[in-house]
Amino acid sequence: MTETSFAPRVFSGMQPSGNLHLGNYLGALKPFVEWQGKGVETVYCMVDLHAITVWQDPADLRRSTREMCAGFIAAGLDPEKSILINQSQVPEHAQLGWIFNCVARMGWMGRMTQWKDKAGKNAENASLGLFGYPALMAADILVYHATHVPVGEDQKQHLELTRDIAAKFNHDYGVDFFPMTEPVIEGAATRVMSLRDGSKKMSKSDVSDASRINMTDDADTIARKIRKAKTDPDALPSEAEGLAGRAEARNLVSIYAALNGQSIDAALSEVGGLQFGAFKPMLADVAVARLSPISSEMSRLMADTGEIDRILMRGAERARAITAPILKQTYEIVGMVGPTP
Ligand code: TRP
């Protein structure tokens, strides 16, 4: 017995390694929260099993997982509406991941640009998990029969691979069991770049802390980082075309617009003509106004990690009500002997 029609369900994941920053907020958390209000089921996952494809200190990993969960909730995800989980607590992810290790081909994995970037010249020394990472990611998604996956541009190739795995599984076993998941790529408008270099993504792995605004930065730190952000000597243009070739200016304006929930053009009709000296304090004000309630809620939640742990445990229970039957059907399709009904 297999399902043939797929109800809309949103799934996305984020690695709990290092701090949440403004790029995660605007590029992922905000869209996650928007999906939550659209009347579809939403599942958001801290992918701790993915995180350990590169070394993680155990205490740091535990703290990052809880802090990310706190950040999700503080940003507006409601654990009653969305299912919030950490990956390792829903064992069907890893179990389906194994099946997909046997569906995906070495050649497919070897072509993943993220693998090539991360393993680099040192592939011999990279973990096997880092190479197989996208098969587990496909399992994360397909173990829910998820239909929509909001992610950044850099994950597009992994979502194409997810479709390839679903298609090969369905074809090899002659079933129509796994859906063709739609990527929902968050566009350039939500891509936040480094404050030190407008051509690089804001990233938790950048050595310079001044390159990013962390969700836990206090108001003074946020204002100082924005004051020091790289700019150019010109005034802001009044229309979006005027940002061409001005990566840093574009970045700061799009952060301003996104924080205000405006289009870039709307923001520029307000701030066009201003010098950075006048614009930066406005940007700092809106950043502090948006982020400080989130960071204080995060600290409140982090003061009692018992509450976070209960939320994740409850999330795992709800998740398993979805994933266990899908894994069971997968095992039956593949030919694993289990209890006879
Ligand atoms: N690979 C994603 C990243 O690095 C994280 C991730 C893991 C994910 N599993 C997922 C994202 C499933 C979306 C769906 O950002």
Confidence label for 318 from pLDDT (cuts 50, 70 and 90):
very high
Q: Which residue ranges make up each domain of the chain? A: 9-190+304-334, 209-300
Confidence label for 212 from pLDDT (cuts 50, 70 and 90):
very high
| Catalytic hit among 201, 225, 230, 280 | 201
Residue 132 has pLDDT above 90, yes or no: yes
Q: At what angle do helices 264-271 and 247-260 cross, to 10 degrees?
A: 100
Fold of 209-300: Tyrosyl-Transfer RNA Synthetase (1.10.240)
Which neighbouring-strand residues pair with 148? 10, 182
**Alpha carbon distance 314, 189 (integer Å):** 34
Torsional sign, CA 189, 24, 316, 38: negative
Instruction: Clarify whether 201 is annotated catalytic.
Output: yes
Q: Whose CA is nearest to atom 9 of ligand 1?
A: 137
Q: How far is CA 240 from CA 231, 243, 250, in A?
A: 16, 6, 8
- The pLDDT of residue 104 is 98
Q: How far is CA 292 from CA 42, 92, 122, 245, in A?
A: 26, 37, 41, 32
- The pLDDT of residue 322 is 98
- The pLDDT of residue 285 is 96
Contacts of residue 308, Cβ cutoff 8 Å, sequence gap at least 6: 66, 69, 70, 301, 302
CB neighbours (10 Å) of residue 111?
12
Residue 2 has pLDDT above 70, yes or no: no
Q: Which atom of ligand 1 lies closest to the CA of 136?
A: 9
- The pLDDT of residue 115 is 95
Confidence label for 18 from pLDDT (cuts 50, 70 and 90):
confident
- The pLDDT of residue 5 is 72
What are the structure tokens assigned to 310, written together?
A: 């209960």
Strand pairing class (9-14; 41-46):
parallel
- The pLDDT of residue 1 is 36
* One-letter identity of residue 277: G
Confidence label for 3 from pLDDT (cuts 50, 70 and 90):
very low
Predicted TM-score of the model (pTM):
0.93
Confidence label for 6 from pLDDT (cuts 50, 70 and 90):
confident
What are the structure tokens assigned to 102, written together?
A: 């046997």
- Residue pLDDT, tens place only, 102-130: 999 999 999 999 999 999 888 999 999 99
**Alpha carbon distance 65, 59 (integer Å):** 10
What are the structure tokens assigned to 131, written together?
A: 């190479």
DSSP string over 223-291? HHHHHHS---SSPPPSSGGGGTT-HHHHHHHHHHHHHHT--HHHHHHHHTT--HHHHHHHHHHHHHHHH
| Mean pLDDT estimate for the chain | 94
Fold of 9-190+304-334: Rossmann fold (3.40.50)
Q: Which atom of ligand 1 lies closest to the CA of 133?
A: 1
Task: Quote the ligand 1 centre to 45 CA distance (angstroms).
Answer: 9
Buried b (16+ CB within 10 A) or exposed e, 286-309: ebbebbeebbebbeebbeebebbe
Which neighbouring-strand residues pair with 193? 201
- The pLDDT of residue 153 is 87
* One-letter identity of residue 321: A
- Ligand 1 neighbourhood includes 142 CB (under 6 angstroms): no
- Ligand 1 neighbourhood includes 140 CB (under 6 angstroms): yes
- Residue pLDDT, tens place only, 225-284: 999 999 999 999 999 999 999 999 999 999 999 999 999 999 999 999 999 999 999 999
Across the range 52-70, mean pLDDT stands at 97
Q: Whose CA is nearest to atom 3 of ligand 1?
A: 14
Confidence label for 339 from pLDDT (cuts 50, 70 and 90):
confident
- Residue pLDDT, tens place only, 87-100: 999 999 999 999 99
- The pLDDT of residue 205 is 87
Across the range 166-174, mean pLDDT stands at 98
Gyration radius of the chain over CA positions: 21
- The pLDDT of residue 49 is 98
- The pLDDT of residue 341 is 66
Whose tokens are 């700092």? That residue is 284
